[in-house]
Amino acid sequence: MAAKGTVVIDRNRCKGCELCVYHCPQHVLKLDETYNTRGYRPVILDERSGQCTGCAVCAVVCPDVVFTVYRFPQPVRTPAVRAVAN
């Protein structure tokens, strides 16, 4: 499925509360297996990241301003998905 959007995740701001994981309508978010500099497992896009619509629900529910949301003018096959470097 071609992605309509993507998110950039500032992993060191995340406290792993999973609010965004619960509310993402496309179910494309999960907690990472590794820890951030604050000792939390931060959220990451999972293998279904191509289904992200850029709806921004994650950014609305996140209490810690972790997400930057992008919507593509046209659906793309390979979204530019990355996390902000530590």
Which amino acid does the sequence have at 75? P
Residue 13 has φ and ψ, to the nearest 5°, of -90, -15
Enter the DSSP assignment of 13. G
Interacting residue ranges for ligand SF4, rule: CB under 6 A: 5, 7, 14-20, 24-26, 28-29, 43, 52-58, 61-62, 64, 66, 69
Residue with tokens 């998110």: 7
Angle in degrees, CA 76, 79, 85, rounded to 5: 160
- Min dist. Cβ of residue 39 to ligand SF4 (A): 13
Considering beta carbons, is residue 55 or 76 the nearer one to ligand SF4?
Answer: 55
- Min dist. Cβ of residue 72 to ligand SF4 (A): 12
- Min dist. Cβ of residue 50 to ligand SF4 (A): 11
